[in-house]
Structure 1
Amino acid sequence: MKTTNEMIIIDLEATCWENDRIPTGQKVDIIEIGICKLNLTSKAISQKKSIYIIPERSEINRFCTKLTGITPQLIEQKGIYFEEACEMIRDQYHTATFTWAGYGNFDGEQITEQCDWLGITSPFSENYMNVMHEFKRHFNLHKQIGLKRALSYLNMDFEGTHHSGADDAYNTARILSEIL
């Protein structure tokens, strides 16, 4: 694999339920892929975008909308199917050659789970970096801390809206540029 000075950073928003009580017959579905590219040399963050996804195995409820700001109407207007989103990501970000990262394991695992469920190839490489873990390791902390607390630790303010995939990906990229 060729080495590159760029990384893809993602943050997913997914269908969710109060107290994590998933209704019978429903599964966690990605409803937004926030994505951006981080240049490790210049530390420039580019191509920040939200890709809204039509959930195929569950529905967006009030709790989920309150947390993420994503409504069924927004998905109706701007949503595309997950498979289309994967093709778009491959074409626009050329992701197969880059290491990709997310804050925690959920993003990497959920992409893999949803690709497996659809029988499609992941748009991303095998090289996933858990930024939460890297942050803990970098500062020799006893336990992992959340995205907003990690920014505070670095004396940085959160930019944008928390639980917006694009904003969370962007802020994750800001953290990564500080610790790499």
Structure 2
Amino acid sequence: MKTTNEILIVDLEATCWEYDRIPAGQKVDIIEIGICELNVATQAISKKQSIYVIPERSKISKFCTDLTGITPQLIKEKGIHFEEACEKIRDEYHSGSLTWAGFGNFDKEQMMQQCDYLGIENPFSESYLNVMNQFKHYNGLHKMMGLKRALKFLNMDFEGNHHSGADDAYNAAKILREILQ
């Protein structure tokens, strides 16, 4: 990890379909970038927000809306293009120089894949921390567990709505903060 005190915690929500059946001609698109900042020195979690992203290669299915609460109308009202979202992250979080983290590898892989596909520079550094793996090793566990179960294991409550990017990022930050104490 870099020596800075800030770590960005990211949770993405993306277009999805029941039974992971991606319709012909569509690709998984990021529709929300949930992000917050963990100050390792003060243990404060701050700058939590949802950045809604207009899907460029797919449509939001009913299944996806039921899971995430993200509707086509919400995206129409608050969504910005992926490239703008990346610029916003760079500008507001100085993300290129910070370690970033997510609960598992989906967020890292999806961000890299979408940046590559669209020819956009990844707004995050190459320093990525998989909070799920850190949690597993910290607790000496043999199996992975999801975000909600990990919080329960640590006797913490889930705050907010599961599959809300900003809320999931915040809850992953709470787990990381506990591990780094």
- TM-score between both structures, scaled by the size of structure 2: 0.98
Instruction: State the match for 1:29 in structure 2.
Output: 29
Counting aligned pairs with the same residue, the percent is 72
Runs (4 or more) in structure 1 with deviation over 4 Å come to: none
What is the rounded CA distance, in whole Å, between the counterparts of 2:140 and 2:82 in structure 1? Answer: 37
CA deviations on 1:123-144 (whole Å, 9 max, x unpaired) are 0000011100110011110111
Pairing 1:65–2:65 present: yes
Counterpart amino acid of residue 95 in structure 2: T
CA deviations on 1:32-88 (whole Å, 9 max, x unpaired) are 000000001111001000000000000001100000000000000000000000000
Equivalent runs, 1:52-131 vs 2, <5 Å: 52-131=52-131
Instruction: State the match for 2:154 in structure 1.
Output: 154
What is the rounded CA distance, in whole Å, between the counterparts of 1:4 and 1:147 in structure 2? Answer: 25
Q: Is the contact between residue 16 and residue 63 of structure 2 (CA under 8 Å) also seen in structure 1?
A: yes
Counterpart amino acid of residue 75 in structure 1: I
Instruction: State the match for 2:134 in structure 1.
Output: 134
How many angstroms does 1:120 deviate by?
1.3
CA deviations on 1:101-153 (whole Å, 9 max, x unpaired) are 00010000000000001111100000011100110011110111000000000
How many angstroms does 1:2 deviate by?
5.9
CA deviations on 1:160-179 (whole Å, 9 max, x unpaired) are 00000000000000000000
What is the rounded CA distance, in whole Å, between the counterparts of 2:7 and 2:163 in structure 1? Answer: 21
Instruction: State the match for 1:49 in structure 2.
Output: 49
Pairing 1:6–2:6 present: yes
Task: Name the count of aligned residue pairs.
Answer: 180
- TM-score between both structures, scaled by the size of structure 1: 0.98
Q: Is the contact between residue 2 and residue 99 of structure 2 (CA under 8 Å) also seen in structure 1?
A: no
Q: Give the 3-state SS of the residue equivalent to 2:11 in structure 1.
A: strand
Q: Give the 3-state SS of the residue equivalent to 1:90 in structure 2.
A: helix
Q: Is the contact between residue 51 and residue 85 of structure 2 (CA under 8 Å) also seen in structure 1?
A: yes
What 5-or-longer segments of structure 1 have no aligned partner? none
